[in-house]
Every structure is written in structure tokens, then in C-alpha cells.
Chain A
Amino acid sequence: MTVPTAPVEEEEKKPEKGWPPTETKLGIIAAVLGIIMTILPFMPSFVKAIGLTFVLVWGADSVRKTSRYGLGTGVPSIGVLAVGYGVIGAIAGMGIAKVGGDFTIGGVEVLNVGVLGGVAIAALIGYISGIFSNSEKFISMKIPGLERGMTELGVAGTLAFLLESSMVAGTLKLDAVLEDVFLSGAIAFMFVMSAIGMFHPFNACLGPDEDRGRTLLLSFEISGLICIILGIVSIALGAEWLGSSSLGLLNAALLILYGIVVWVVFYAKFVRRSFEASYEVVGTGLIKTVK
């Protein structure tokens, strides 16, 4: 009689060169990158898209660290909360910037610091709602770190909206953004896709075998999809870069290219890591199994 041997415990895999970074490190990198890309609206769209990618990954990480304790309402709720605060913070920030004035050289908006006021307000709203949600006297969710998570989500949502608006409109002037983003209806797409970029990774990957590095790859992939569609939107709207329409098409084309590269690379990475984590991959015969 053969005694079944216990499965050999596989050694803990070493994370790929510093990936994933710690939560604080990722937050600082994403916030700094996002803020730099936001306050310099003259940069081409695909450079801003790098900021957008990191901001969405940060948001997804914040969703992960707040909702792994169980929110009771499902993971999507906190992602939608982030874009709710984000859209309010973004229009407030652009309003402050309009009053404060901007640095314009030759009709090109070079520096826009006023929008950071909106980011600060969104952070404040996030922090206060975090306090209310965690406090014993009010909603009493008792989730450790919820205040920090909601603050980060407010900032990430606002930065995501500001970056997407400036990618499509080429500027952060409130009336130009209202005309290009709100009138065209692109705002509805941004509202939904920014939320998906933040909540979908953890919502899809949660479970006992959830792995932070793998979950966050999914967020990269969604940001690629957002960039592809925003590129198409920019072409349809007649994209502007540096105020000259001659560079507009190239700007949008580079954004689409960036989106496709990010999407393909991170999709392949995600699938490979899922295969690596699985016990065995068995093809159904319908699709060729990649191993």
C-alpha cells in the first residue's frame, strides 16, 4: 500500500526586481508622478498617460487595502466613491485655477498649479468621510486604515480625472474642458472607466490566493485600454497639443500606441503570472493553451 506523500511546499517565489513596491512607496511615486503630469498641461498626451497609469494603480492598491477586510457592499462601491469625489474635486480644482490664473506663454498653458487646490479638497472630503465611516458613533465600519485609504482614493480619483481631461482637451482651463470633455460626452466614459480601473483589479482577483503584484498588473492593463479609447476620442474631437492642430493627430496616435503597448504587455504578464500560480493549466481545446 502506498502512502500518499504530502505535496512538497513550494518555496516562496521572489518578487520580480522590486515589484510590487510597498504601499507607501507606490503611493508616493504615483502621487508625485501624477501631480507633475497634472500641473504641466502642455505635455503630450502619452506622457500624461504614464501619470494616469500610475494614479490608477495607486487607486487600485488603495481599494485593495481597504476592501480586503470586507466592506459589506462589494468592492465596486469604493471605486465608484473614488470617482464621485474625483469628479467633484476636479471641477473645484479647475475653478480655483481659473480664478488664480495660469502661466500661459504664446497661448499655450504651461503651468497650472491651482488645480492642486481641488486635489487638496478631495483629500479633505475623503479623510472626513473616512473618519465618519470608521467612527464608533457614526457608521462604525471598523476597517483599519480606512481614513488613509479614502484620502488616497479621493486624491487618486481627482488626479485621474484631471489627467484624463487634460489628455482630451489639451489644457486644464475649465471652460475648454467643459466644452471638450463634458459637451462631447467623454466624461461619462471617464466616469465609468476610471472607476473600473480602480475597483476591477481587486474585485476580479480577490480570494484566498490573491497576490498583490498580480492584482496590480490588471490595473496597468485597464489604463492601457483607457488610453486607447481616449486617443480615439481625441482624434474625433480634433486633438490639440501646444495649441497647434498640426501636431494633434500625432499626439493622439502616440497615445493610442502607448495604450496598445501597455495593454498587450501587461495582459501577457498577468496571464503568465496566473499560469505560474496555478497548479496545472489544462486547455479545453477551444483556445490554444499558451504555456
Chain B
Amino acid sequence: MDPITALLILVCVIVGGLLASLGVHMIPVGGAPAAMGTATGIATGTVQLMFGAALTGLFTASTVATFFETPSPLALVLVALSGAVGAMLMMSFTMLFANMLYVFGAGVVPVSGRVEVDPITKEPQTPYKTPQTDGHGVPNVSYISGWIGAFLGGFGGALMYFVLKNYAFPASLFPELGAVDAEMISAAAAGIAAAGIFVANAILSAYNIGGTIEGFHDPKFKRLPKALISCAVVSALCGLCVIIASWGLMGGGV
């Protein structure tokens, strides 16, 4: 295997892992308290939300990737951006419908529990918060933070997918299968490997925030550097694994 290709895979996997970690810190996750309407965020775990967003991103990214036969910087940017948009769409719909359920179903106002004034719209938050709770629903600042988080996470996932598909498991490695099947194997291997690396990073970051966060205005966001260092090391090891697999698939040798 070409050392430059190996380095490219490693760097892109690390960057993808760091973006996944950054994304997790920005999405509004409420966990179990949010399911009772007593905390800000969407009522599910970080892993489910971020993995769902990243998988939607991988679907859009893999669809866009079929339009490019040879890898180029333009293709890389377009595929990664389409993954980001797919993840943003998934996150937006989830946040919108979570808000509809909170507002029309539970009858609570989307309000942040961590800040007194919304940092973006400057709307007051505390007067609308039910006493003894930690906020409700997905307020404006969390919504925008969730958008940015999903964008970063989807971008990272699609970046990993693009590099793995074109450099680690290229379709040219499976000549005996025919062009269509070779493309599909290449996409499937890249997609599953990217998803595996993505969840590992997302979960380590989720442990860092202790399961719930409101967005970039949450005090827990300051813990970000600790997760970034851990994720960089774990992604580097995962990247090495993918390089070994790809090296084996190419029959060894340099």
C-alpha cells in the first residue's frame, strides 16, 4: 500500500472522528428527564441521535458519491457536504417534531434551563421555566446548536466514508465481480467501517458530557478538549485497523 494513501486515510479518519466528537457536544440531548418534559433537549440518548443523524448523512453521501467515478477534491467536498445536509435534515425534523410534542402534547414552552437569556435571540428564559425543572423542549439556541452539531457530525461521517470508499476499499479491488457489484461492496465496506468508527467516537464523547447537554451554551461544553484528545487517539487506532484491512485486501506489500 502506498504510504501517502495510508497517511491520507489516517488523517481523514482522525478528522472525521474529531468532527463526530464536536458534533455530539452540540446536539441537544435530554435523555430520560427530557422524556418526562423536565429537561431541555430531545428525549433520547446521544448515541441514538448522533448515530441516526450520521446514518442519514451516510445515505445522502453515498447517493451523491455514485455521481463521481474518480475521486477529486470537488467530489470530496460535495460528498461531505451532502452528508452534512442529510444529517442536518434528520436532526431538524427530530427537533421540530420533539418540540411539537412538547408544546401541543405536554403543554410546555421550549425553554433553556442553563442560561437566563437566550444567547442568540436575547429572549428571556427563566420566567417561562417551570420551577423544579431543568427546562423543556428545544429552545432556539439549542435548535441552532443542534443544526451546527449535525452539520459537523454528518460532514465528518461522510468524509470518512468518501476516503474509505475511494482509497481503503476501492471498487478496483474486486475485478472478478463486475462493475456494479464491485461498487456496492466498496460502498458497503466503507459505510460499515465509517459507522463503526463514528459510533466509537460518538459514544466516548457522550460519556464526556455525562449523557445530556443543551448545546454550545451549556457549561458542559467546556469539557470538549478532553473528549477531543481521547477521540483523536481512538480514531487513530481505528484508522490503523482500516489501513491493515485494506493492506491485506491489496495482498500486502508496500
- Contacts from A to B (Cβ < 8 Å): 71-74, 76-78, 80-81, 83-89, 91-92, 94-99, 118, 121-122, 124-125, 128-129, 132-133, 137-141, 174-175, 178-179, 182-183, 185, 187-188, 191
Q: Assess the B177–A179 pair: CB atoms within 8 A.
A: yes
Q: Chain A residues with Cβ under 8 A from B48's Cβ?
A: 76
In this complex, what residue of A is CB-closest to B168? A91
The minimal Cβ–Cβ distance linking A166 to chain B, given in whole angstroms, is 16
Known contacts A118-B241, A141-B207; A187 and B188 CB within 8 A of each other: yes
Which of A74, A94, A178 contacts B45 (CB under 8 A)? A74
Q: Assess the B238–A125 pair: CB atoms within 8 A.
A: yes
Q: List 21 A-B contacts (CB under 8 A).
A: A73-B211, A74-B32, A81-B203, A84-B196, A86-B196, A88-B200, A95-B244, A96-B248, A98-B248, A118-B241, A122-B241, A128-B234, A129-B200, A129-B234, A132-B230, A178-B174, A179-B174, A182-B192, A183-B181, A187-B188, A187-B192
Q: Chain B residues with Cβ under 8 A from A92's Cβ?
A: 240-242, 244-245
Say yes or no for B158: interface residue by CB 8 A criterion.
no
Main secondary structure of the interface of B (DSSP, over half): helix
Q: Chain A residues with Cβ under 8 A from B208's Cβ?
A: 139
Please, what's the 1-or-0 string for B92-116, where 1 marks a CB less than 8 Å from any CB in chain A? 0000000000000000000000000
Say yes or no for B247: interface residue by CB 8 A criterion.
yes
Which of B188, B210, B212, B237 contacts A124 (CB under 8 A)? B237
Q: Assess the B251–A98 pair: CB atoms within 8 A.
A: yes
Which of A83, A141, A175 contacts B196 (CB under 8 A)? A83
Q: Assess the A139–B248 pair: CB atoms within 8 A.
A: no
Question: How long is the Cα–Cα vector from A95 to B212 in the complex, in angstroms?
Answer: 38
Select the residue from A72, A76, A83 with max chain B CB neighbours within 10 A.
A72
Q: Chain B residues with Cβ under 8 A from A74's Cβ?
A: 31-32, 45, 47, 211
In this complex, what residue of A is CB-closest to B48? A76
The minimal Cβ–Cβ distance linking B49 to chain A, given in whole angstroms, is 11
